[in-house]
Structure 1
Amino acid sequence: MGGDNAPQTIVEGVEIARDEFLDVEFVLYGDRAQIDPLIHNTDRISIVQADEQIDMNDEPVRAIRRKKNSSMVMAATAVKNGEADALFSCGNTGALLAAGLLLVGRIKGITRPGLVSTLPVVSSDDQSFNLLDSGANADSKAEQLYQYALLGKYYATSVRGIKEPRIGLLNNGTEPHKGSKLTLEAHDLIAADESINFVGNVESRDLLEGVCDVVIADGFTGNAVLKAIEGTASSVMHLLKNTIMNSGVSGKLGALLLKSSLGEIKGKMDQSQYGGAVLLGVKAPVVKAHGASDAKTVYYTIKQIKSMIDGQMLPNFTEYFSAQQQKEDQAAVVDKK
């Protein structure tokens, strides 16, 4: 029920995905009276009535605790109980993150799950990069940034099929000795792990050029960079369109000749094809798409979720961090003795 054009665009996107992915079943939580008339074919689509809805003005944690019959809480509970494999919403971001933490639950060994977003690389036709954390936590510790590097590595390997993803740490310079206390400590922790293909510090101006496959940042900085990139892309496209429309007959004719090339630029910057933002570090995929998402974005996000499940991303996460936690627990017992 969440999103600017819900539930119509959600249902449309689900039906597109249902027709392509024959091994996936969909459970839609919300107002049956609104959802049912929109479904053209009920094959592998079911509806669960939810009498409440969390809107954009609700305080996230309070809404999750009080609105037990909301579509988001009911869907998250189904994932928690093993009745569903993943949770996807276009609704209140804070509430979805709270549902992921409080209901779905953290993987043992993860201190703070992070939000990973996918953004385009403009110098390549088929390349993109991940930004983690892109807004789940405003404040982070060095140990958490190190965990994000591990989470980002497994995500890029399992979902995007990159064997040795290049991991970069977002900073105000590429030199190892530059940065804040947080980034200096995080740099040393990540660099010390030989299992990570760490390329060192990276600057925000180089991100769209494909300097690395996964960019690590604290949530405050990551979210600011994400919105700056989104805003710049939108502004450039509007500027280009206004320039063409105000350039007279010759400019419009030129644009007509370049229509195919301009379409490629627009398609490259279209974030709908990259799916939603994923909360990494919880026991099941929890994915958030933009409130203004159309059916195409919903479809691509479902495709992304299917890749996460098929790639066994969560079992890899759980196995690794459980082993790490066990080592730490054993070391603590030895120290105590």
Structure 2
Amino acid sequence: MIEEQLRETFERHETLAPSSAPLREAIDRAVRRRRRQRRLTRRLAGATLAVAAALSLPFAFRDAVQPPFVGDTFLPGGAQTMDRPLTVAVLGVDDDGGRSYRADTVLLAHVPAASHTAYLVSLPSDLLVEIPGRGRARLGETFYYGSERRDAAPDPGAGAELTAGTITAATGLPIDATVTVRYSGLRAVTDALGGVEICVDQEVSSRHSGRVFPAGCQRLDGRSMVDLLRQRYGLPHGAYDRDANGRAFVRGLLAGDVNDPVRLARVVQAASAGIDVAGTGISTPRLLQVAAGVDTVRSVDIGSNFRGITIDRVSYQRLDPALSAPVFAAIKENRLTEWAQANPRAVR
């Protein structure tokens, strides 16, 4: 409206004033710039929701990490609790370099009713499961079977849905939502921050690139970070050491400087392309409100030395029922808080 009034004013006085062409061009540029800003604002509003989903990122690595603060601007209604228990499957998916989508990390994040504590239960990606309608496989492969499409790009949403159903069949636990964190998204966020400093306890040799990452602290770009986080072979404790490096990445990520508005916008947009949140029993905004209200994150031990089994020359892992069954029962019956208090040595 203001721009049109200015144009009309200049047209009425064109004979009395110098050529208005330069000024008209400046006004047109301002209009185009304002329209671009409005479009960017709308995109950032949607992408901001994905950054809020990054609250779940610490859940993907088994450590007690204080989640970052997300204010009311990000979450309509602010942080809240639920009047019923909530169980979320968090999936760390290796989609880097055009690889088939498989879940390297499978974690259950459980928040009891009216609680501000999230309890984390890690499931081995090599866990022997029966995929509904497909037969025997490893749990981490379930995402691949769900997401793979003939002559088309993989469908992460379908992969997450099938994985959630398989977890329910294996544990008896209903899954209210899934959070899928893709390695390509972690790479983009790392680059948007200008690199992330990570401190590792031991030297890591990449079987993919041949690079050797020394023990100690180092600042890595996105591609190098993903290369490091993918490594488990050659490490003394395999996937468990890989998880430790993941926790180190999370600590470096949360320490990243996003005070610069331009850098923050880049991080927001990068996260929107790499983190997917889907709810079957809860809406995404509601899930994020609950996540923002979590102020304590604790890990529940269901055993770290899983029992191995070989079937048709394929190695799988099995849970120890003595350790896992009581935890699953407590989650299902909304009494995990009481169970944790009665079993302090199994919770950290």
TM-score range, shorter-chain basis?
Answer: under 0.3
Which of these two proteins has the greater Rg computed from alpha carbons?
Answer: 2
Q: Normalising to structure 2: TM-score of the pair?
A: 0.25
> Greater helix share, 1 or 2?
1
> Greater strand share, 1 or 2?
2
Q: Normalising to structure 1: TM-score of the pair?
A: 0.26
